[in-house]
Amino acid sequence: MPHRLTLPLVGLLALLAGCATASPRAANPDAHKAELRHYVESGQYLREITPVAAEARTWIAQRAARRVADERLAVVFDLDETLWSNWAGLVREDFAYVPVVWEAWVAEARAPAIEPVREVYRVARRLGVDVIFLTDRRERERAATERNLRAIGCGEYAALIFESDKSTETAAQFKAAQRQRLAAEGRVIIANLGDQDSDLAGGCAERTFKLPDPFYFTP
């Protein structure tokens, strides 16, 4: 979850439209919070993630099997609500976004893995495909983020890329530029996984895999 986040419940209706529990009651924030809780606690959230992750695993295996000599294959992962879940922090703060509270949550370094996506990570590692984590968390959050990655068994990777603390780019601008840089360095990004459109915008990946996220929006 980035620092310049637009959080629920403003603009949430459009995001919830794809959820089985969605309804158009814009005037009742508590009802939407209840819908979000049901969406996660009923298992629907994980059920929607699972086939996307399975498709990504299949594609990575197929593409790795066609690798040519000296081809530097890579998979790019977002972190928040992609590799791991901040659900406990969101619920604890009743879906509000307070920067100091978010930073405290990051410092705890205990966001749990989203298991189907962690398995995508494991498949990429097993097949010798470079794993690159590309997050619009800030550089000052590196140490805590690294601890969290180790805690969920994802501590081995080719690169972990953060936005600078003073960046004014949107997430979409930052991530597109970083993928372009990676491509210019000779990497072939065969898959890009994220929960936000801004994680995937701008190309420089053979395939993209969009995970559901009705919790917040990152431009």
pLDDT digits (tens, 9 = 90+) for 31-90: 889 999 999 999 999 999 999 999 999 999 999 999 999 999 999 999 999 999 999 999
E runs forming strands in the chain: 72-77, 130-138, 159-163, 187-194, 208-210
C-beta of residue 75 within 8 angstroms of C-beta of residue 47? no
Going along the chain from its start, the domains and CATH numbers come out as: 12-210 (3.40.50.1000)
Categorize the per-residue pLDDT at 120 as very low, low, confident or very high, splitting at 50, 70 and 90: very high
Distance CA 99, CA 202 (A): 28
Express each pLDDT in 134-163 by its tens digit: 999 999 999 999 999 999 999 999 999 999
Q: Which residues contact 142 (CB under 8 A, 6 or more apart)?
A: 160, 162
3-class SS of residue 122: helix
Categorize the per-residue pLDDT at 5 as very low, low, confident or very high, splitting at 50, 70 and 90: low
Q: What value does the mean pLDDT take over residues 4-26?
A: 43
Neighbours of 191 (CB within 10 A): 23
- Please tell me the predicted confidence (pLDDT) of residue 8: 46
Question: Token digits for 8?
Answer: 């629920």
Question: Token digits for 90?
Answer: 């969101």
In the block, tokens 């601008």 appear at 173
* DSSP annotation of 129: P
Question: Token digits for 110?
Answer: 């205990």
Q: What is the number of alpha carbons within 13 Å of residue 13 lying toward its C-beta?
A: 8
Q: What value does the mean pLDDT take over residues 83-110?
A: 93
- Please tell me the predicted confidence (pLDDT) of residue 97: 86
Global pTM?
A: 0.89
Question: Token digits for 22?
Answer: 């969605």
